[in-house]
Amino acid sequence: MTRFSPVLALMLLTLAGAPALAVNPNEQLANPAQESRALALSRGLRCVVCQNQSIDESNADLARDMRLVVRQRITAGDSDDQVVKFLVDRYGDFVTLKPPLKVTTYALWFGPALFLLGALGAGRAFYRRRPAKGAAPGPLTAEEQRRLDGLLKDSS
Amino acid sequence: MNRAVFLIPLVVFFTLAAFFAERLVALRHGDAPNLLPSMLINKPVPAFALSPMPGHGGSLSSADIKGQVTLVNFFGSWCVACAAEHPFLVGIKKSGIVPIFGVDWRDDPVKGAEWLSRHGDPYTKIGLDPDSKVAIDFGVTGAPETFVIDAAGVIRYKQTGPITAEVWESTLLPLIKELRK
């Protein structure tokens, strides 16, 4: 165990590094409640330069300026919704990483569930039409009975 | 079982193939999906007042952009595509077709001024936007971006990326003429 602990300590150290803040210390707000709001909002806002990172993760200059704008809006007294609306008014719904639920996005939100229901329905219809595997076969016809009798006679 | 059921996957396949083919062709013609549509089309120019670039006249504010059709061009000395576009802007300035207002975005004003003296200054007025305040208000995602603004101060078009002769002839010039009517 004594030999193992330095390795373990190193492993734990790498874990400690992971949640480090992407926000530069000089960008952070002094008020911790406001800063945590800003952080939560930044994680849900898309960097419009890199497009698949949040502004919190991105190193792009514009993402940095957007982080600062988010913080300025918060200090100015905006609610979370108002901050998001401020950026959506300028960059469109695309700026939110999670698409909003509205008429134009119904297909996006409900499409997968509809496909699943459709697939289940199709599967049900398919298996219903096939005869059940375990069902007992009907009685033999006269012809079959005659052939069976013949076979039994031969083998005896 | 109804034979037609087996055709469904085939129909789905060809519908998808047609959809993808259409996108691929559109992509070739410049309709790139990574270009965001501007939210500011048909909206008034956001109010702003920028500090001036030293040696290049007075400051630029939203009040300047009214009364005639204008272009607002976001550029920076750090921006490679802007340098490619620049000679074309200088040409527009020479022809006197339309005034161009410049926003030197996220730039060191000294480097910006140096860049302009090297490449020529096509701008009627220039403002400095070091912290993207105005760029974000305009929904700018990169440089260069150029907005066409009508005489009432309403944004009518956004050109993402450099203005080329083709863009100018096919889109911007006809639009400017249309807006002047």
Domain that holds residue A60: 20-98
B31: region left, alpha or beta (phi > 0 left; psi from -120 to 50 alpha) = beta
Distances (CA, A) of B46 to B17, B65, B135, B153: 42, 10, 10, 9
Contact: A66, B132; criterion CB under 8 Å: yes
Of B1, B39, B106, the CB nearest to A91: B39
What one-letter code names the amino acid at B55? G
Q: How far apart are CA B122 and CA B11, in angstroms?
A: 55
Closest CA relative to residue A24, chosen from A7, A12, A38: A38
Q: Which residues pair with B159 in a beta bridge?
A: B146
> Does the ipTM exceed 0.90?
no
Q: How far apart are CA B129 and CA B105, in angstroms?
A: 5
Q: Are residues A63 and A75 in the same domain?
A: yes
In a domain, A112, yes or no: yes
Q: Are residues A45 and A107 in the same domain?
A: no
Q: Are residues A79 and A125 in the same domain?
A: no
The A residues from 11 to 70 touching B (CB cutoff 8 Å) are: 48-49, 51, 61-62, 65-66, 68-69
> Is B1 a residue whose pLDDT tops 60?
no
Q: Are residues A57 and A47 in the same domain?
A: yes
- Measured N-to-C along each axis, helices B80-95 and B109-119 cross at an angle, to the nearest 10 degrees, of 60
Contact: A61, B106; criterion CB under 8 Å: yes
**Contacts from A75-83 at CB under 8 Å and sequence distance 24+?**
A75/A29, A75/A34, A80/A37, A80/A40, A80/A41, A83/A41
Mean pLDDT, residues B26-42 taken together = 75
Q: B36 contacts in A (CB within 8 Å)?
A: 48, 91-92, 94
pLDDT value of residue A19: 46
H or E segment to which residue A17 belongs: helix A5-17
Answer yes or no: are the C-beta atoms of A35 and A29 closer than 8 Å. Answer: yes
pLDDT digits (tens, 9 = 90+) for B45-59: 999 999 999 888 888
Q: How far apart are CA A87 and CA A93, in angstroms?
A: 9
Mean pLDDT, residues B56-73 taken together = 92
Contact: A90, B141; criterion CB under 8 Å: no
Mutate which: B1, B79, B133, B136, vs A, most A CBs within 10 A? B136
Answer yes or no: CATH 3.40.30.10 is held by domain B51-180. yes
Contact: B141, A62; criterion CB under 8 Å: yes
Q: Are residues A26 and A51 in the same domain?
A: yes
Of A48, A68, A88, the CB nearest to B141: A48
pLDDT band at B113 (very low <50, low <70, confident <90, very high): very high
Q: Are residues A85 and A28 in the same domain?
A: yes
Residue with the bigger pLDDT between A19 and B163: it is B163
Q: Are residues A24 and A91 in the same domain?
A: yes
A51: domain CATH number is 1.10.8.640
H or E segment to which residue A6 belongs: helix A5-17
pLDDT digits (tens, 9 = 90+) for A90-145: 999 889 998 888 888 888 899 999 999 999 999 998 888 876 666 667 788 889 88
Answer yes or no: are the C-beta atoms of B102 and B130 closer than 8 Å. Answer: no
In a domain, A152, yes or no: no
In a domain, A142, yes or no: no
> Is A53 a residue whose pLDDT tops 70?
yes
The number of distinct structural domains making up chain A is 2
Q: Which of A38-42, B1-5, B11-15 has the lowest mean pLDDT?
A: B1-5
Distances (CA, A) of A94 to A31, A78, B42, B118: 29, 21, 19, 38
DSSP alpha helix (H) spans, A23-105: 32-43, 61-75, 80-91
Q: Which of A8-22, A23-37, A124-138, B143-157 has the lowest mean pLDDT?
A: A8-22
Among all residues of chain B, which has the CA nearest to that of A93? Answer: B39
pLDDT value of residue B30: 63
Question: What percent of chain A lies above the pLDDT cut of 70?
Answer: 86
Question: Hey, what are B173's tokens?
Answer: 């010039």
Q: Are residues A49 and A104 in the same domain?
A: no
Q: Are residues A34 and A65 in the same domain?
A: yes
Contacts of A98 (CB under 8 A, 6+ apart): A44
Among all residues of chain B, which has the CA nearest to that of A72? Answer: B133
Q: Are residues A50 and A110 in the same domain?
A: no
Answer yes or no: are the C-beta atoms of A62 and B110 closer than 8 Å. Answer: no
Mean pLDDT, residues A59-85 taken together = 94
Distances (CA, A) of A38 to A28, A43, A71: 9, 9, 6
pLDDT value of residue A52: 86
pLDDT digits (tens, 9 = 90+) for B78-109: 999 999 999 999 999 999 999 999 999 999 99
Of B1, B131, B142, the CB nearest to A49: B142
H or E segment to which residue B102 belongs: strand B100-105
Q: B34 contacts in A (CB within 8 Å)?
A: 51
Q: How far apart are CA B126 and CA A95, in angstroms?
A: 28
Q: Are residues A39 and A106 in the same domain?
A: no
> Is B22 a residue whose pLDDT tops 80?
yes
pLDDT band at B137 (very low <50, low <70, confident <90, very high): very high
> Is A2 a residue whose pLDDT tops 80?
no
Q: A63 contacts in B (CB within 8 Å)?
A: none
pLDDT value of residue B31: 64
pLDDT value of residue A1: 47
Question: What percent of chain A lies above the pLDDT cut of 90?
Answer: 45
> Is B62 a residue whose pLDDT tops 50?
yes
pLDDT band at A16 (very low <50, low <70, confident <90, very high): low
pLDDT value of residue A128: 85
What distance in Å separates residue B96's CA from the closest CA in chain A? 31
Question: Hey, what are B37's tokens?
Answer: 């549509």
Of B36, B106, B131, the CB nearest to A94: B36
Which strand ranges, in their side-by-side order, compose the sheet holding B155-160?
B51-52, B125-129, B100-105, B70-75, B145-149, B155-160
> Is A26 a residue whose pLDDT tops 70?
yes
pLDDT value of residue B64: 92
Q: Are residues A26 and A92 in the same domain?
A: yes
What distance in Å separates residue B59's CA from the closest CA in chain A? 22
